[in-house]
Amino acid sequence: MMEKKILSRSFLVAIVFVGVVGSLGFAMAQFYEQECQKSLRNYQLQEQKRLEAKKIQTTKLQLQKQRQKAQKIVSQLDRLLQKKNKEIQESIKKKLKQKVLTASKRAQFIYDRYKNKQSNKERIVTIVKNIVVDSQNSLFITNFAGDSILLGPQSVDKTKLNFYMDADARSIILEELQKVRKHSSGFLESDFYTKGSKYIIYVHDLKMFDMFIGSMASVSSAQKSFESELFCVLSSIFVDPNEFLLIYKDKKMLYKSQDVTIPKLEQKNIWHSSQNIHYYTQYNQAMGYTLVYGFLQPPTEELSSK
């Protein structure tokens, strides 16, 4: 009887022990599963953060590359415009000087032939007046008192020539006189008619009758011819669908590769960003152009897939 009681107790202890061990094992298994799930969630969260950081880094690198490309293109175009502007001005100066010196030689021939007679003055003025170059007469004659002898292309009242001030408030006639007296001949630049219409002037001392001769040509007119050539070239250059090139002059649109409106225009070298539009502006002082090159930023997913 005693043995049965001992066995019953042993069995009961065994059952309790098994139950405790089972409960403990279940609890440990549940704890392990929770820890595994927690570790997995942490890993997934860290991986998500890593992917997002990678996307951000990829986007930044892509934007940096596009910015470098935009600045490079604008810089190259700016150098091209500076070079072309120099060529335009050199060409104008060469033609003006050749024209004036040719007229001066003819005047000298008349002067020498008729031995300094006063009537030579009228002959000389007539000869110069009838010289036509490039389908127009652009020669003028002024005496050292500042009086116009032959007005030429200057749209100024002949009787008020002495008092004429150009668009920059410069007494251009006085400057011409100083140039001739000091150097015998030379070039000047003036916004002769209106602000922004630059002219190059060449004057030369005739050394007779206290007169000097000169000619002038519009730089703006020569630039317009170049602009039509430039825009044809730009139109043939491939531009990425997400990129655009704009050229302004005096805040007026001259050229655009795409129908894009930018929110802000500044005549200086600066980056602008507005929503998904990024663009770089650079001011070309030589020709008065504001160059704009930019891009429309694609979605982050598209950038990261490149």
Lowest mean pLDDT among 40-44, 88-92, 226-230, 233-237: 40-44
**Sequence-ordered alpha helix ranges (H) in the chain:** 2-113, 119-129, 172-183, 219-236, 300-304
Q: Is residue 168 pLDDT above 70, yes or no? A: no
For residue 303, which of 66, 69, 49, 45 has the smallest C-alpha distance?
Answer: 66
Q: Say if strands 211-218 and 139-143 run parallel, antiparallel, or are unpaired.
A: antiparallel
Lowest mean pLDDT among 50-59, 62-71, 171-180, 218-227: 50-59
Residue at token pair 């802000």: 264
Q: Under 8 Å CB-to-CB from 207, ≥6 apart: which residues? A: none
For residue 13, which of 5, 25, 2, 3 has the smallest C-alpha distance?
Answer: 5
Domains observed in the chain = 91-218 (3.30.450.20)
End-to-end CA, the chain? 86
Query: Given pLDDT bands bounded at 50, 70 and 90, which one contains residue 272?
Result: confident
Give 41-95 pLDDT, tens digit per residue.
766 676 676 667 666 666 677 777 877 888 888 888 888 888 888 888 899 899 9
Residue at token pair 């000047």: 188
